[in-house]
């Protein structure tokens, strides 16, 4: 765990336990309904949370919505709604999408929740008591979409924000400021001593660069925005939306009926093991947030991972360019497993990745329908025809004298290490290789011909089926963080109950789970192949391939709003 690294007031009892794993997604802005870009972070977080649960960790998976600030107030008024009605609608849209995508979060925090307001106020008071808040006049260029004052140096022509491609507005305000500059040295030390704190490593370099170039105090209140949490002792100002939202990670930890205090939040699981975010909000999470925590005397999160962008035509997918992929449409058309699998498998976690429907269909059909679904289905078909759907021997006996078991176990271990390292695409690939090994084994052994020969050959064929079904059992566990519904169906086909699936542990990926005498279900396809429309509406578009871009160093992106 990282040290508190600060100040005169670290009096909190951390809630961190050796077997706990707290993971967060960003709290999503409710200016517009979710698009595939926002769904991407949540799918990844869910896969990581599910993997950690398989390891037996006590997982708290936090997500939610960021509901205050100018951007939200403007979006509500454009819809003719009050901010609070607007927030209710959009926040519900997020919850519904998460349900459709099989997202099993533990906490959903809305920043308009009164318990959150209490936490923000207490935190603000602690920072104030630490002498880190002062009042000053500020004049600068503000990007409403980022909700951030910008440094002129980082702007494009006409003072355009490089993320949203819109001109920043000149503003002058009398605000409260947070003394970020005081934490320059502590941040430098924290980053140097904990190279794992910011990942991937190329993002750490970026963060170190920002810190090195000199940290400036930033304003943490707005005089011109009503839709927010009032500054304690000054009702004319509201707390800056980022200073408010980051604390959502902490207030989310509170139990429903619990007194909303920082101490209670902290003892329920602070600090988190992992903040999962997109690269556009790295500065807030890896610079502002740790400094704020240091000031309040609270432990820092253990890791901040900044993933890349989903792009279309090389541009960040976002509402203002109208180049988003509608996640509801995708999930209703192809189902949650296909959507989750495609984005986690095809986009190397950390890098950007482009979407094309043709690529989506090809990948999902090849990996989930053919390699996995078909292997299970044809094996169960043969077992039904030749062995009354019953396993003839234990899987350990079936595999005696063969190195196939070692191949599978090595690949499972590979998958485990990749999951641990958040290399989700490589974890999928390792599981896929297990499927490939199973298919190659079937093709080599051809049990369907062995059954025809009868006698010893037929006995050997029956053992081959046990081997493949054991392989499928292992795949179902190892792929369950990525494609939970599909794996649940595989597990049911192998004759297990829903409860058995829900209580799985990663240690059960060890060879030997299936026992002789176990009766399999009737073969029924677990993943329907997606039939590709002959005439795509936009053939040129569909022909594009997913481009995996290796990011060696941070690039200035021509990107648009989330």
Binding residues for ligand MSP (CB under 6 A): 26-29, 37-38, 40-41, 66, 245-246, 248, 277-278, 280-281, 309-310, 316-318, 562
Which residue lies nearer to ligand MSP by CB, 62 or 372?
62
Tell me the CB-side half-sphere exposure of residue 65, using CA atoms within 13 A: 24
Sign of CA dihedral 276, 278, 283, 284: negative
Q: How far is the CB of 26 from ligand MSP (least distance, A)?
A: 4
Which residue lies nearer to ligand MSP by CB, 49 or 277?
277
Which residue lies nearer to ligand MSP by CB, 304 or 530?
304
Rounded CA gap, 520 and 386, in Å? 13
By C-alpha distance, which of 383, 399, 392, 404 is closest to 493?
Answer: 383
Q: Is 187 helix (H, G, I), strand (E, B) or coil?
A: helix
By C-alpha distance, which of 288, 190, 202, 242 is closest to 71?
Answer: 242
Q: How far is the CB of 66 from ligand MSP (least distance, A)?
A: 3
Is residue 503 within 8 Å of 544, Cβ to Cβ? no
Enter the tokens of residue 423. 């290399």
Which residue lies nearer to ligand MSP by CB, 24 or 295?
24
Which residue lies nearer to ligand MSP by CB, 29 or 404?
29
Is residue 294 within 8 Å of 180, Cβ to Cβ? no
Which residue lies nearer to ligand MSP by CB, 106 or 409?
106
442 alpha carbon, distance to own chain's centre: 35
Q: How far is the CB of 121 from ligand MSP (least distance, A)?
A: 17
Cβ-in-10-Å burial (0-12, 13-18, 19+) of 389 comes to: middle
Overall residue count recorded for the chain in this entry? 562
Distances (CA, A) of 543 to 114, 119, 343, 345: 50, 50, 18, 19
Q: Is 500 helix (H, G, I), strand (E, B) or coil?
A: helix
Which residue lies nearer to ligand MSP by CB, 28 or 491?
28
Q: How far is the CB of 479 from ligand MSP (least distance, A)?
A: 23
Q: How many CB atoms lie within 10 A of CB 368?
A: 28
Distances (CA, A) of 241 to 2, 83, 170, 361: 26, 14, 19, 40
Q: How far is the CB of 142 from ligand MSP (least distance, A)?
A: 16
Which residue, chain included where needed, has tokens 């209703």? Answer: 332
| For helices 424-445 and 336-346, angle between their N-to-C axes, nearest 10 degrees | 110
Which residue lies nearer to ligand MSP by CB, 12 or 40?
40
Which residue lies nearer to ligand MSP by CB, 66 or 173?
66
Is residue 198 within 8 Å of 154, Cβ to Cβ? no
Which residue lies nearest ligand MSP, judged by its C-beta? 278
Which residue lies nearer to ligand MSP by CB, 149 or 506?
149
Q: How far is the CB of 64 from ligand MSP (least distance, A)?
A: 9
Q: How far is the CB of 209 from ligand MSP (least distance, A)?
A: 19
Which residue, chain included where needed, has tokens 């207490």? Answer: 122
Q: How far is the CB of 316 from ligand MSP (least distance, A)?
A: 5
Q: How far is the CB of 118 from ligand MSP (least distance, A)?
A: 17
Q: How far is the CB of 110 from ligand MSP (least distance, A)?
A: 12
């Amino acid at each position: 765990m990282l040290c508190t690294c600060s100040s005169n007031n670290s009096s909190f009892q951390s809630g961190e336990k050796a077997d706990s794993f707290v993971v967060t997604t960003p709290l999503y802005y409710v200016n517009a309904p979710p698009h595939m870009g926002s769904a991407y972070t949540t799918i990844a977080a869910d896969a990581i949370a599910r993997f950690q649960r398989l390891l037996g960790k006590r997982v708290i998976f936090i997500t939610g919505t960021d509901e205050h600030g100018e951007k939200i107030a403007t979006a509500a008024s454009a819809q003719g709604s009050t901010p609070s009605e607007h927030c209710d609608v959009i926040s519900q849209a997020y919850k519904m999408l998460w349900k459709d995508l099989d997202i099993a979060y533990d906490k959903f925090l809305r920043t308009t929740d009164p318990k959150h307001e209490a936490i923000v106020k207490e935190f603000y008071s602690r920072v104030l008591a630490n002498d880190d808040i002062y009042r000053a006049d500020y004049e600068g260029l503000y990007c409403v979409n980022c909700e951030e004052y910008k440094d002129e140096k980082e702007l494009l022509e006409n003072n355009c924000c490089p993320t949203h491609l819109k001109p920043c507005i000149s503003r002058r305000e009398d605000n409260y400021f947070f003394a970020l500059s005081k934490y320059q040295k502590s941040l430098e030390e924290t980053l140097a001593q904990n190279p794992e704190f910011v990942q991937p490593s190329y993002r750490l370099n970026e963060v170190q660069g920002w810190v090195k170039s000199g940290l400036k105090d930033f304003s943490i209140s707005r005089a011109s925005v009503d839709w927010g949490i009032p500054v304690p002792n000054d009702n004319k100002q509201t707390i800056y939306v980022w200073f408010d939202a980051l604390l959502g990670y902490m207030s989310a930890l509170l139990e429903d009926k619990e007194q909303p205090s920082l101490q209670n939040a902290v003892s329920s699981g602070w600090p988190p093991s992992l903040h999962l975010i997109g690269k556009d909000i790295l500065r807030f999470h890896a610079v502002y947030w740790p400094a704020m925590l240091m000031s309040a005397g609270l432990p820092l999160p253990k890791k901040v991972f900044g993933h890349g962008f989903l792009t279309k035509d090389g541009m960040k997918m976002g509402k203002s360019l109208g180049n988003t992929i509608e996640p509801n449409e995708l999930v209703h058309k192809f189902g949650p497993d296909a959507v989750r699998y495609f984005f986690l498998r095809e986009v190397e976690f950390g890098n950007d990745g482009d979407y094309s429907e043709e690529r989506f269909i090809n990948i999902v059909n090849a990996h989930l329908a053919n390699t996995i679904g078909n292997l299970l289905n044809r094996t169960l078909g043969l077992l039904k025809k030749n062995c009354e759907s019953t396993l003839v021997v234990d899987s350990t006996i079936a595999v005696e004298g063969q190195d196939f078991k070692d191949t599978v176990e090595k690949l499972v271990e590979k998958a485990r290490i990749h999951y641990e390292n958040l290399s989700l695409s490589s974890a999928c690939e390792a599981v896929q290789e297990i499927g490939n090994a199973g298919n190659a084994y079937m093709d080599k052994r051809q049990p369907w011909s062995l059954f025809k020969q009868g006698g010893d050959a037929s006995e050997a064929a029956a053992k081959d089926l046990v081997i493949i079904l054991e392989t499928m059992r292992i795949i179902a566990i190892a792929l369950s963080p990525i494609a939970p519904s599909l794996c649940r169906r595989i597990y049911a086909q192998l004759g297990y109950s829903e409860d058995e699936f829900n209580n799985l542990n990663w240690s059960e990926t060890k060879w030997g789970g299936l026992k002789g005498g176990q009766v399999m279900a009737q073969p029924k396809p677990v993943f329907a192949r997606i039939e590709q429309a002959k005439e795509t509406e936009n053939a040129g578009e569909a022909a594009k391939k997913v481009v995996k871009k290796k990011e060696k160093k941070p690039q200035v992106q021509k990107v648009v709003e989330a």
